[in-house]
Amino acid sequence: MELISDENVKAKLVEFINEQGIKTSYAQKGLNNSVLFSLACKKQKVILTHDKDFLNTDLFPPQLTAGILLLNIHPPKLSVLQSRIAKVLDKFSEQDIKGKLLIISEHAVEIIEGSGKNVKVLKF
């Protein structure tokens, strides 16, 4: 599994993920969400972001991607982000994430499959 990080994700978190053995790179600075989405789809990389625009499954259908990991942790304290992302990447395989939007909060993970009227939501 490879991740592509939105510019809104802390560099220390990207470094931490790389240290866990999961190749993670930054998208080009200033890239708009549509271009980031297209790039991730083309390269089959999981998107890592804080950007809630990716909740719009009509505009950014997760089933076209290798997956979207949306960090919804406030305040975005590094130790909490590291703990949550480590747990998610340990619990969910590449196949579990593929084609899904995972909304990662401090105490739960919501998994969204599909888009439009065909959305299915699971909570862990």
Mean pLDDT of the chain: 94
**Model pLDDT, residue 120:** 72
Q: Which of 21, 23, 20 is nearest to 45 (CA)?
A: 23
Q: What is the sign, positive or negative, of the torsion defined by CA atoms of 35, 42, 70, 55?
A: positive
Q: Are strands 109-113 and 100-104 parallel, antiparallel or unpaired?
A: antiparallel
- 43-73 pLDDT, tens digit per residue, is 999 999 999 999 999 999 999 999 999 999 9
> Which CATH number is 2-123's, of 3.20.14, 3.90.350, 1.10.3470, 3.40.50?
3.40.50
Q: pLDDT band at 118, cuts 50/70/90?
A: confident
Q: pLDDT band at 124, cuts 50/70/90?
A: low
